[in-house]
Chains A and B, each alone.
Chain A
Amino acid sequence: MTVESTAARKPRRSAGTKSAASAGAKRTSPAAKKSPGTTGAEPELVQLLTPEGERVKDATYDPYVADITPDELRGLYRDMVLSRRFDAEATSLQRQGELGLWASMLGQEAAQIGSGRATRDDDYVFPTYREHGVAWCRGVDPTNLLGMFRGVNNGGWDPNTNNFHLYTIVIGSQTLHATGYAMGITKDGADSAVIAYFGDGASSQGDVAESFTFSAVYNAPVVFFCQNNQWAISEPTEKQTRVPLYQRAQGFGFPGVRVDGNDVLACLAVTKWALERARSGEGPTLVEAYTYRMGAHTTSDDPTKYRADEERESWEAKDPILRLRTYLEASNHADEGFFAELEAESEALGKRVREVVRAMPDPDHFAIFENVYADGHALVDEERAQFAAYQASFADEGEGK
């Protein structure tokens, strides 16, 4: 192992000093000039908004957000605030015993809202189980996301209503579904695109590699959006890869780009660019959104057992919401009234989510047998009848529901 790579594995620089905290500073650091594939090198990442909320120029990606209006900027801020509020409410609901489990997206709002807002209505989204912000952008009622975590269903929505597929728990499986769907778009002669979400841990899965192969071979209009949040439960990215993840794409024959995942503008611009490539027949792109999961993997684990407080603190300084707020205020795009109104809206959302979850009825007992097959199945019919008879036997005793 080289001296450089060892150095890069030391704890990340503290957020205290301005230059160290700025990912923009890394872009001009000697490390950024290292050749691809060098272990531990900190590669360039696309950034349009520094952690301090300063707008920086980028000749390649600026055009994709050049026409963004103050209203749209406020919209991105609103999306991030409300999705964070929803996420916080779900975490609380889990702590209160209303949900069996929750996978928080805290810290990943910019990656999700930026990429989600880049999609068109006719695009199709294949999420993992943490894309609450993307679901928000697609217009999925956030309370629909809670059914599986409360244990009242295993999915719970019609994917075709918002072109937002069901959450997929097996790591990386959905990247293949996304690729197949994108192949279908090509066959249909449509100009829609597909975006597949996955994490740094999933990048180790064979299915992700196979989806890269298939999408490249068939030139499928799919954007692979990897949120590298640094941790796969307790395993750091270093346990998944020896090269920066976005560089994987090169070996499959399509471009990969790393974007500051805490910069909503950059995520929006880069995803738009990638989706436009897909639409115009240029095939797949890998976007690695370099971000950080501020919370636990799920409410079942305890991040204090596997990572240092300083690391989290350094990322707090890069908070995606604070940085856009600073920019909105500095550029006079939002006033106090806007923030106050949003605060009230945020509280109302939390209240609604709480009420809806608590009122969620347990599913009907016979839901066990529903939709196992589209065309029916003799064994399911037989067992449903046995179950009905068994249930009815309690009713005879006056103990039935």
Chain B
Amino acid sequence: MAAEKMALAKAINESLRTALDTDPKVLIMGEDVGKLGGVFRVTDGLQKDFGEDRVIDTPLAESGIVGTAIGLALRGYRPVVEIQFDGFVFPAYDQIVTQLAKMHARALGKIKLPVVIRIPYGGGIGAVEHHSESPEALFAHVAGLKVVSPSNASDAYWMMQQAIQSNDPVIFFEPKRRYWDKSEVNKDAIPGPLHKAVVAREGADLTLVAYGPMVKVCLEAAAAAQEEGKSIEVLDLRSMSPVDFDSIQASVEKTRRLVVVHEAPVFLGTGAEIAARITERCFYHLEAPVLRVGGYHAPYPPARLEDEYLPGLDRVLDAVDRSLAY
């Protein structure tokens, strides 16, 4: 099968379809995932083809969705649950943190919890409150969970396959404003490991690290900087837990400058951890302090203000300039 161009949402749909097809233990669960195909249509057509026993419309109860998925996993199933929007995950946060994350260790490794929790996340779609948040650091902070986010259709397809095959719970953050972006998906390609960062663009003067929705912004920033004669490397992190510090280190040892970009608030975010670790690892290589670009320590703003809140091309380029000025 040759590579095929498809939207990121479609790639996840195809990935779920492949998983349902190959493993009878895989289940899809969530609010509106059946007939409607999900509010973003990511599960479109799956219930029609696999039935209501495999693609399960649930009551409107997030803790119930995750809690019952844990029970199904204990019975040998591999549930893939959808939380409709980022801000709605919190009713399930207790089940995810106190139960899902810890049960394998509490059972001395005798049971496995292969549950994937899909969360469309991030802003940029003009939504009302609780529909645009980036809570990934809250999950990455919890031992026992793995946290990933694809930035393009190919990764969306393959990372979902890998997340479902993982014996650990995976929080799968889907960049909702990239759902309709198309790119090549090669279903015959052999993907790299789920938690490995990849170089999205080679460069020599500075490294931009991003994941999910911000990779595209960083690639655009790198292209704009190129016109000013600056060579920017863009690293697509892909995984927030674990973080591939080795790949970041390798890039920083080459470029000697690092800017981390994400939509989530800067304070105590993924970028803070990366800045601290890379400073430890690359202290003598760095020509400038590690800088961060991200959201503010404020509630996600109303839609008419989100362009001010979200890191855009200018804010990323400003950070690039500040780093290069050292």
Please report A residues at the B interface, Cβ cutoff 8 Å. 153-160, 165-166, 168, 170, 173, 175-185, 187-188, 206-207, 210-211, 213-214, 217, 370-375, 377-380
Cα A165 to Cα B64 with chains together (Å): 18
Chain B 138-151: CB-based contact to A (< 8 A → 1; otherwise 0): 00000110100000
Q: Is B238 interfacial (CB-CB < 8 Å)?
A: no
**A contact residues around B71 at 8 Å (CB):** 176-184
Contact of B107 among A157, A181, A207, A211 (CB under 8 A): A157
Which residue in chain B gives the minimum CB-CB distance to A215?
Answer: B68
Contact of A210 among B67, B102, B110 (CB under 8 A): B67
Whether the pair B64, A176 counts as a contact (CB closer than 8 A) is yes
A-B contact pairs, 22 of them (CB 8 A): A153-B106, A155-B105, A155-B107, A168-B99, A170-B99, A173-B95, A175-B67, A177-B99, A180-B72, A181-B72, A183-B68, A184-B75, A211-B64, A214-B58, A214-B59, A372-B144, A374-B104, A374-B112, A374-B167, A377-B242, A378-B195, A378-B245
Instruction: Tell me the B63-99 residues at the A interface (CB within 8 Å).
Output: 63-64, 66-77, 91, 94-95, 98-99
Q: Is B109 interfacial (CB-CB < 8 Å)?
A: yes
Whether the pair B67, A180 counts as a contact (CB closer than 8 A) is yes
Nearest CB of chain B from residue A223's CB, rounded to whole Å: 14
Nearest CB of chain A from residue B51's CB, rounded to whole Å: 11
**B contact residues around A188 at 8 Å (CB):** 75
Nearest CB of chain A from residue B144's CB, rounded to whole Å: 6
Cα A210 to Cα B66 with chains together (Å): 11
Whether the pair B63, A176 counts as a contact (CB closer than 8 A) is yes
**A contact residues around B74 at 8 Å (CB):** 159, 165, 177, 180-181, 184
Cα A181 to Cα B67 with chains together (Å): 10
Cα A183 to Cα B73 with chains together (Å): 11
The winner among A166, A170, A206, A210 for most chain B CB atoms within 10 A is: A210
Whether the pair A213, B61 counts as a contact (CB closer than 8 A) is yes
Nearest CB of chain B from residue A308's CB, rounded to whole Å: 35
Q: Is B251 interfacial (CB-CB < 8 Å)?
A: no
Given contact pairs A177-B67, A179-B71, a sample of 9 additional A-B residue pairs in the complex whose CB atoms are under 8 Å apart: A154-B102, A166-B106, A173-B94, A180-B70, A181-B75, A187-B77, A210-B67, A213-B64, A371-B104
Q: Contacts A371-B104, A373-B104 hold; do A180 and B69 have CB atoms under 8 A apart?
A: yes
Whether the pair B98, A155 counts as a contact (CB closer than 8 A) is no
Cα A180 to Cα B67 with chains together (Å): 7
**A contact residues around B111 at 8 Å (CB):** 158-160
Chain B 39-67: CB-based contact to A (< 8 A → 1; otherwise 0): 00000000000000100001101011011
Cα A375 to Cα B245 with chains together (Å): 18
How many residues on the B side are at the interface (Cβ–Cβ under 8 A)? Answer: 47
**B contact residues around A182 at 8 Å (CB):** 71
The winner among B64, B66, B108, B168 for most chain A CB atoms within 10 A is: B64
Whether the pair A180, B109 counts as a contact (CB closer than 8 A) is no
Cα A134 to Cα B144 with chains together (Å): 29
Q: Is B198 interfacial (CB-CB < 8 Å)?
A: no
Q: Contacts A154-B106, A159-B111, A378-B242 hold; do A211 and B144 have CB atoms under 8 A apart?
A: no
Whether the pair B104, A214 counts as a contact (CB closer than 8 A) is no
Whether the pair B68, A214 counts as a contact (CB closer than 8 A) is yes
Whether the pair B108, A371 counts as a contact (CB closer than 8 A) is yes
**A contact residues around B316 at 8 Å (CB):** none
Q: Contacts A158-B111, A378-B242 hold; do A210 and B59 have CB atoms under 8 A apart?
A: yes
Nearest CB of chain B from residue A391's CB, rounded to whole Å: 20
Cα A189 to Cα B132 with chains together (Å): 41
Q: Is B241 interfacial (CB-CB < 8 Å)?
A: yes
Q: Is B103 interfacial (CB-CB < 8 Å)?
A: yes
Whether the pair A180, B105 counts as a contact (CB closer than 8 A) is no
Cα A370 to Cα B110 with chains together (Å): 12
**A contact residues around B103 at 8 Å (CB):** 155, 166
Which residue in chain A gives the minimum CB-CB distance to B71?
Answer: A180
Whether the pair A176, B67 counts as a contact (CB closer than 8 A) is yes
Q: Contacts A176-B95, A371-B108 hold; do A207 and B242 have CB atoms under 8 A apart?
A: no
**A contact residues around B95 at 8 Å (CB):** 173, 176, 207
Which residue in chain A gives the minimum CB-CB distance to B76?
Answer: A184
Which residue in chain B gives the minimum CB-CB distance to A210?
Answer: B64
Cα A217 to Cα B74 with chains together (Å): 20
Instruction: Tell me the B120-154 residues at the A interface (CB within 8 Å).
Output: 143-144, 146
Nearest CB of chain B from residue A380's CB, rounded to whole Å: 7
Whether the pair A371, B105 counts as a contact (CB closer than 8 A) is yes
**A contact residues around B59 at 8 Å (CB):** 210, 213-214, 217
Cα A183 to Cα B74 with chains together (Å): 11
Cα A184 to Cα B168 with chains together (Å): 19
**A contact residues around B109 at 8 Å (CB):** 370-371, 374
Cα A373 to Cα B112 with chains together (Å): 9
